[in-house]
Amino acid sequence: MPSKSGRGRGRRRGRDCQSNVSDTKPITPSYACFQESSQPTDTKNSQPTYTKPSTSSILEQSSSPSSSTCINTSTSSSTEIPNLFNTNCLPNGNLTANEIYKAFINNESTCNDTIPNGPKENVYFLLDNHRNITRKTNSKSSQFPDDCGAWDSHCGRTVKTDFVVQSDSTLRFTCIKDGQYCFEKQVKGKKTFIPFNPQPSPDSIVTLERYYTPLKRDKMYKKRVSTFNRLPTQHQDRVHLALVEYTGKFSQTSGPHGNAKHVTHDYTRTDPKVLDQIKEDIKAKKTNIDIYKDMVFKDSENAPRDLQQIRSKRYHDNKHSNLDSSNVPDQVWEALAMANKHEFVAEVVYTRGNNMPPSIICYSQMQMEDMKLHSEHDPDSILGIDRTFNLGPTYVTNFVYKNKKVVKKSSRDHPIFVGPVFFHWHASYYTYHSFLSHVKARLDADVKYIDIRIGSDDEGGITKAIDKVFNTSERLLCTKHMKDNVTDHMKNKLPLTKEERSHIMSDLFGDDGIVTSNDTIDFNLKSENLCNKYPIITDYYTKRLKNRLFNHVNRPLKKSSNPDRLWTNNNCESMNHRFKIATD
């Protein structure tokens, strides 16, 4: 009896292959990579000359490949295609399953190591996929890097389809029903699945896996990657290939990565081979600067974007690999012993159920006394606190302040001094509460009350811990971070012009803006005027900005001796930069 089935994968598969697929579109021939020069030549005494075409010319001319060749394109520049590179066009959209299979088993198809740089419109490439096959055996995802920009993986999807390879080397969709391989057929307008008779041999069953993803900045430009999990025995040596298709009009207008907030340069994904080389150099105990210089001098086209990329790679590698292989009990005992052996280690924090090494609070007695003295005698002294990373596998949170007793000769300004430093593994409220409670207890050791002013950015864990531990102290927010957050929200969330955004920023942070209001009445009046002038920002302002601006910017500003200067956390940022330089 034929079995009936509802909807599902059959509709897509039906488009790939009908029940009897005997005639398919021929595979579009590859494009030539040389063209005859238009310069005049002496036909009697000279050979024809050839010039290397541009990327666009390659995609406009076609010829058949003469032999099966694997081309190494890993060192090609962004404006140059390797001489022997061949590519195929897609005049009618994505290839069908039959066309993909034909391309795989065609021994004359040209296989490439990497996807070439340059615009790619309605073309496909056959790639050597050995590296991704190895990655899959290690439970890692496949990688097909290119220079198109950021792809939207959240909109990506994978479709797996089973086929039977027929005697004429065409594919026919199949699925398993009641333990038998069946083919799809329409019976009286209904989709039914009829068992093959006889059943196909296991060697003739192949699974085609196709991954679809659009470009983030242009959803109409799409990429598809096709692979077979296995091929018939006579073609098994071609199973290591992958076919990558690009369809649609490539948008020449690129932009930064979708997660980038403070950069404007175009994003191009770094080749995984570059990251692998960075990892090997890190294991070889090279410094970040040496790694960057060596790779840039060796091959500037296949090098890290900047020094920060190497720092980030080192940080994440240490965080995920070093901790897994470390012996936490040994680290606990070693850290506990440091509290009595090292004068800089003030306290070791280790909580129940923690599978991480202990956190450590570090400072010397002189540091604490000096910070306490400045907080006590200078009413304008602000203790800045900030968290940094990329210094190793741990977070580093530290206090900084300006030493008013010293004047730097070069800048004629007071130098920045560092206070207590906290090395920790989690950026949670409980973690910061432990650190701040320790510092407050040391500052309040004497009977005399000290009015402390603490400033930070708007990180939730830190601000909540400050409010709980230093509940009588004045807390300031960094206006630079606030400006960045407001600008980012208006640019990406609200339909405002550049001129309107500029006016709003002036109304908020200008010399006569909301943050410099004389009193509560003036503050509320200016806030009301802003919301009436720009109703679209009312919800964001009332929920996210108003209380923060009044309690942590305007009110502390009026209590300082310089009420016209907005506070920023630049001192902490400068100290963090010094830490990074010292650890590179």
Q: Given pLDDT bands bounded at 50, 70 and 90, which one contains residue 11?
A: very low
Between residues 270 and 79, the one the model is more confident about: 270
264 within some domain: no
Q: Given pLDDT bands bounded at 50, 70 and 90, which one contains residue 478?
A: very high
How far apart are the C-alpha atoms of 55 and 78, rounded to whole Å?
Answer: 10
With b for 16 or more beta-carbon neighbours within 10 A and e for fewer, the 207-228 pattern comes to ebebbbbbbbbbeebbbbbbbb
How far apart are the C-alpha atoms of 18 and 98, rounded to whole Å?
Answer: 11
Pairing between β-strand 190-195 and β-strand 180-187 as defined by DSSP bridges: antiparallel
Closest listed residue to residue 459, CA positions, set 495, 428, 431, 490: 428
- DSSP-assigned letters across all residues of 48-100: PPEEPPPHHHHTT-----SS--EE--TT--TT---TT---EE-TTSSPPHHHH
For residue 140, the model assigns a pLDDT of: 82
How far apart are the C-alpha atoms of 402 and 571, rounded to whole Å?
Answer: 8
Residue 332 has pLDDT above 80, yes or no: no
How far apart are the C-alpha atoms of 199 and 20, rounded to whole Å?
Answer: 16
Residue 216 has pLDDT above 90, yes or no: no
CB 246 within 8 A of CB 141: no
Residue 25 has pLDDT above 50, yes or no: no
- 239 and 304 part of one domain: no
562 within some domain: yes
Q: Given pLDDT bands bounded at 50, 70 and 90, which one contains residue 54?
A: very low
For residue 10, the model assigns a pLDDT of: 43
- Residue range 463-476: average pLDDT? 92
Strand partners, 208: 161, 228
> Which token pair is 59?
């995609």
- 130 and 240 part of one domain: yes
266 within some domain: no
Closest listed residue to residue 389, CA positions, set 282, 311, 306, 465: 311
Q: Choose the final residue of a domain: 208, 230, 247.
A: 247
Range from 67-81, 423-437, 529-543 carrying the lowest mean pLDDT = 67-81
252 within some domain: no
Q: Given pLDDT bands bounded at 50, 70 and 90, which one contains residue 321?
A: low
CB 515 within 8 A of CB 565: no
- Residue range 380-408: average pLDDT? 86
- 233 and 98 part of one domain: yes
For residue 260, the model assigns a pLDDT of: 62
How far apart are the C-alpha atoms of 225 and 223, rounded to whole Å?
Answer: 7
pLDDT digits 0-9 by tens, 479-502: 999 999 999 999 888 888 999 999
Helix runs in 129-197, H state only? 130-137
Between residues 135 and 561, the one the model is more confident about: 135
- Residue range 138-156: average pLDDT? 85
> Rg for the chain (alpha carbons), in Å?
32
Please indicate, yes or no, whether the overall pTM of this predicted structure exceeds 0.75: no
Pairing between β-strand 123-128 and β-strand 88-89 as defined by DSSP bridges: antiparallel
Domain, as residue range, for 356? 328-477+571-583
pLDDT digits 0-9 by tens, 556-565: 888 877 766 8
Work out the mean pLDDT of the chain and round it to a whole number: 80
- 342 and 279 part of one domain: no
- 241 and 298 part of one domain: no
- In order of 100, 503, 534, the CA distances from 490 in angstroms are 46, 12, 12
Residue 451: count of CB within 10 angstroms of its CB = 12
How far apart are the C-alpha atoms of 507 and 10, rounded to whole Å?
Answer: 59
- 319 and 338 part of one domain: no
131 within some domain: yes
CB 192 within 8 A of CB 186: yes
Residue 55 has pLDDT above 90, yes or no: no
E strand residue ranges, 170-240:
171-173, 175-177, 180-187, 190-195, 205-215, 218-228
How far apart are the C-alpha atoms of 19 and 72, rounded to whole Å?
Answer: 40
Q: Choose the final residue of a domain: 325, 350, 368.
A: 325
> Which token pair is 368?
């604490």
Between residues 56 and 430, the one the model is more confident about: 430
How far apart are the C-alpha atoms of 241 and 469, rounded to whole Å?
Answer: 60
- Residue range 44-49: average pLDDT? 40
For residue 58, the model assigns a pLDDT of: 37
- In order of 16, 17, 100, 127, the CA distances from 25 in angstroms are 12, 12, 11, 22
Q: Given pLDDT bands bounded at 50, 70 and 90, which one contains residue 16?
A: very low
Closest listed residue to residue 270, CA positions, set 213, 308, 315: 308
Residue 206 has pLDDT above 90, yes or no: yes
How far apart are the C-alpha atoms of 419 and 371, rounded to whole Å?
Answer: 7
- 68 and 156 part of one domain: yes
Residue 422 has pLDDT above 60, yes or no: yes
- Residue range 533-558: average pLDDT? 92
Helix runs in 451-569, H state only? 460-469, 479-493, 498-509, 520-533, 538-540, 546-549, 555-559
Three-state DSSP class for 175? strand
Sequence-distant (6+) residues with CB within 8 A of 486 are: 504, 505, 508, 545
Q: Given pLDDT bands bounded at 50, 70 and 90, which one contains residue 81?
A: very low
For residue 464, the model assigns a pLDDT of: 94
Q: What total of structural domains would you count in the chain?
A: 4
- 137 and 178 part of one domain: yes
Between residues 464 and 577, the one the model is more confident about: 464
- Residue range 170-180: average pLDDT? 91
- 178 and 67 part of one domain: yes
214 within some domain: yes
254 within some domain: no
How far apart are the C-alpha atoms of 191 and 173, rounded to whole Å?
Answer: 13
- 437 and 576 part of one domain: yes
- 298 and 340 part of one domain: no
- Residue range 310-317: average pLDDT? 84
Sequence-distant (6+) residues with CB within 8 A of 38 are: none
Query: How far is the first Cα of the chain from the last one, in angstroms, to the nearest whole number?
Result: 72
Residue 438 has pLDDT above 80, yes or no: yes
388 within some domain: yes
Residue 70: count of CB within 10 angstroms of its CB = 12
- 395 and 468 part of one domain: yes
How far apart are the C-alpha atoms of 334 and 449, rounded to whole Å?
Answer: 37
Residue 59 has pLDDT above 60, yes or no: no
